[in-house]
Every structure is written in C-alpha cells, then in structure tokens.
Structure 1
Amino acid sequence: MSSVPANASVMDSIYRHQRHIYDLTRRYYLLGRNDLIAALRPPAGGTVLEIGCGTARNLVLTAKRYPDARLFGIDISAEMLKSATATVSNNRVDRRVSLAQGDATRFDAAELFGIARFDRVFFSYSLSMIPGWEAALHQAIRCVAPGGELHVVDFGQQTALPRWFGKGLKAWLARFHVTPRENLGDAMAAIAKTTHGELHFSTLYRDYARIGHIRLPSA
C-alpha cells in the first residue's frame, strides 16, 4: 500500500535542481501557508501530519510554533525528501519530525510511522500537484483522529483579480505540473458531509488562494 508509483520520477525530475531554491522563490507566491500553520493549534502533545511536505519548511515552522507537538511528513519525491531531511536537521527539530516517502493517494501511515491517525493533517499547496487529488483528500481524512482536523491551503481561481493575471498564473503553473483545483471547496464539503464534520472554507487575497479545514466529531 505504501509503494511509490511511477509518477514519483516526474516529481524527482522537476525538483532535482529546483529543491535547492524552492523556499527562496516560493515564499513570494505560496500565500496563506502561515495562516494555515497558525490555525492548526494541535492539542498539547498532539500529532501533526503534512502530506506533500516538500522541503519541510512548513513542518519546521509548525514545530517551532507548537514545541510540544510531534510532526510527520510524507512526500512522493525522494529528491524533495533530501532537502526536507537537511532542513529538519539544520533547524534542530529532527527528534520531533519524522519523514517518509509515500503516495498521497494510498499511503499507510501506520506502516510508515507506527501511527494510524493524527490530531491534525494538512496539505499546503500540494493538492494542485497531485493528479488524484480527490483520492488524496479521502485518504487524508481517514488519517484524522476523532475530534481532529484536516487543513488545506492552495491556489484559488483568482476570481476577484484581473482576468489576465489569473490566465497568466495558470499558464505559468502548468509548466510545473500545477493545476489549481476549481472544485476544492465542493470536494471538502462532500467529505465534511459524509464524515459529519464541520467545514470552514474561505478565499484569501481576492481568491488568489483558498483555505479551509474540516473538524471531525469526537468519538
């Protein structure tokens, strides 16, 4: 179940060199990531899983903001995980952060980390790069503990921005296999309904980005 599919090679080819400048360049247009981290608020001693952790930038900031939380991250790209491992070590949070390679649509958290469910699970600009993004959402909600939350931030549809801007952004993102998910809100609403969860969903920066979370009922 945790075997890595062929499209891992696609991500490795994209990030083999980009991973070295990823955080420096993405800080200017991956907006809302810090908003998501601030909203996590895991319980004392809680567990947090990031799906598509990339360079581990978010995991390190989460570890520093919530010093008693235990952090976990998966990514399909072995190249990105090289940077993630270095980032975690350089920031001296390697004792609290565990990393593993896995497919977002069908990973086995218990096999990878010895933990099946987490207090918080999140995607930060990774759903727009996952071909089976809806399957990834369903897989993620299965990893959320009772009373826990699934958080997402990703590109919006730029509905309140000039048309040329949205068109140009999407064309540029497509060069990196990034596709903003127009139906993200609907997909999260459907999951919230089937799990009896509570959904909070909104746009950021004139719909440049969309952010939301589902809180599951307690057991």
Structure 2
Amino acid sequence: MRNVQVETPSQTHGGLMDAIYRRQRHVYDLTRKYYLLGRDRLLDDLDAGEGVTVLESACGTGRNLIVAAKRYPNARFYGFDISAEMLKQARRNIEKAGLVERIVLAQGDATDFDPRAMFGIASFDRVFISYALSMIPPWRAAVSEALAHLAPGGSLHVVDFGGQDRLPHWFRAALVAWLSKFHVEPRGDLEQVLREATVACGGTLDFESLHRDYARYGVIRLPA
C-alpha cells in the first residue's frame, strides 16, 4: 500500500503564504507603509524598557521588529512567521539593520506555537500582532495562543483592518475587493473577540477605531 502524506492546515497555509509573498516580499515594505495604518502607534505603546521581552506573532519581513528594536535598545525581541519566504526577507532586513544580535527569528504558526522550543523562553512581557489576523483563517486561535504565552502583567497589542464604516462606500468596496486578492479579510468582530478573551483571562481591554474605522487597535493587559 502506498503511503499518502496529508498536509496539515498549518502546512497548507504556510505554502499559500509562500506563494503569495515569494516575489512580493522584495517590495512589501515599500508598498505597505502607505496603508498599514496604526502600526507605529502600536510600537509606541509597547513601552519596552530594560530587559522587557517582546514577541511579534506573524512578523513578516521584520519591519516592525527592526523599528521597535531601534526604539527600545534595552529590550529583547523575538519574532516568527509561518512563511519561509517572509523569514528570508526578515533575516536579510535584520542583518542589513545590524540587529542580528538583538532580534531572534523562528518559523512557526501563530495558532499553535511553542516559544520554549523556538526561543528557549516560555512567555513574554509584550506580544503584538500587526495586520496578520486578517490573513489567518483560524484567527481567533491566534489571539488565544498569543495570550497563552503572555507573562503576568504583560500586554497583547493587536492592530488590523477595520470595517471602514466611516469612509465612503466606494472606498470600502474597492479596498475589500483588492485585499481579497491577497487572501486578506478584515475581521468585523475583532472587538467582540478581544473583549471575550479579556474576560476569560481576567485582564483589561483598551480598544479604538482609527482613521475613520480604516483600522482597529486593541490592547489587552493582564493582571500582575
């Protein structure tokens, strides 16, 4: 009998991301800076001082990690992504920025990862997810997994596309159609999911709609 290898959902999604970004990774940061709004606001709020550990779930090209590492020189940074192609670009960008000793990368799935196996560390003081939930089919699991590896007193920061409810209808329709070409789907119930997760972990939530609901930003803080 011939053995048949069945791909897991993680392998399937990773292959899809590799296919999408195999070429795009070279121009990703140049193009995305114009419409991934709210990322720098998130990085400002990390407030990562001496010895603080920071993890980016689904780190892509490493752009956010590089900006954060420069902003917080005494913190320690970690990142992972499911796409091998994106990690290639991230490693190149981090090396070019001279931050190889400050940022540790690994390949992993945001919905099910083991930070001790990847980084030798069990939990983090800050975890952030920037414009990735809209690309992860089981995205609620990614929120739960991030919280599961957050240290007491730590915070989870999430920014992603909003519903564009206060923007012209034509703009919203065009944006959603364009995003769908890259398997991106804004999560209309992001606030509700974050609130439910906050209640479950006994934390507090700050949630905002940014730029006329172009983006949505939430921060869950755990009790110490």
Fold match, TM over 0.5? yes
Sort the TM-score into its range (normalised by shorter chain): over 0.9
C-alpha offsets along residues 123-173 of structure 1, whole Å, 9 cap, x if unaligned? 000110011100000000001100000000000000100111111101100
Query: Is 1:213 the counterpart of 2:219 in the alignment?
Result: yes
Find the counterpart in structure 2 of residue 85 from structure 1: 91
Tell me if the contact between 2:49 and 2:74 (Cα under 8 Å) persists in the aligned partners: no
5+ unaligned residues in a row in structure 2: which ranges?
1-8
Superposition deviation, residue 43 in structure 1: 3.6
> Which residue, 183, 187, 207 being the options, matches 1:181?
187
- CA distance in structure 1 between the partners assigned to 2:55 and 2:171 by the alignment: 33
- CA distance in structure 1 between the partners assigned to 2:49 and 2:157 by the alignment: 15
Tell me which amino acid in the other structure corresponds to 2:83: S
- CA distance in structure 2 between the partners assigned to 1:209 and 1:4 by the alignment: 27
Larger displacement relative to structure 2 (36-45 or 205-214): 36-45
Q: For this pair of structures, how many residues does the alignment match?
A: 216
Find the counterpart in structure 2 of residue 153 from structure 1: 159
> Which residue, 173, 177, 182 being the options, matches 1:171?
177
Superposition deviation, residue 6 in structure 1: 2.1
Superposition deviation, residue 86 in structure 1: 0.6
- CA distance in structure 2 between the partners assigned to 1:7 and 1:215 by the alignment: 30
Tell me which amino acid in the other structure corresponds to 1:154: D
The structure with more radius of gyration: 2
Structure 1 segments of 4 or more deviating over 4 A? none
Tell me if the contact between 1:4 and 1:101 (Cα under 8 Å) persists in the aligned partners: no
- CA distance in structure 2 between the partners assigned to 1:96 and 1:46 by the alignment: 12
Find the counterpart in structure 2 of residue 123 from structure 1: 129
**TM-score w.r.t. structure 2 length?**
0.95
5+ unaligned residues in a row in structure 1: which ranges?
none
What SS does the aligned partner of 2:20 have?
helix
Query: Is 1:143 the counterpart of 2:149 in the alignment?
Result: yes
- CA distance in structure 1 between the partners assigned to 2:66 and 2:13 by the alignment: 27
**TM-score w.r.t. structure 1 length?**
0.97
Within 5 Å, which residues of 2 pair with 1:196-207?
Answer: 196-207=202-213
User: Identical aligned pairs, as a percentage?
Assistant: 55
Tell me which amino acid in the other structure corresponds to 1:119: D
Superposition deviation, residue 4 in structure 1: 5.0
Find the counterpart in structure 2 of residue 48 from structure 1: 54
Relative to 1, partners in 2 of residues 1:4 and 1:182: Cα closer, same or farther, differing over 3 Å?
closer
What SS does the aligned partner of 2:220 have?
strand
Tell me if the contact between 2:126 and 2:156 (Cα under 8 Å) persists in the aligned partners: yes
Find the counterpart in structure 1 of residue 24 from structure 2: 18
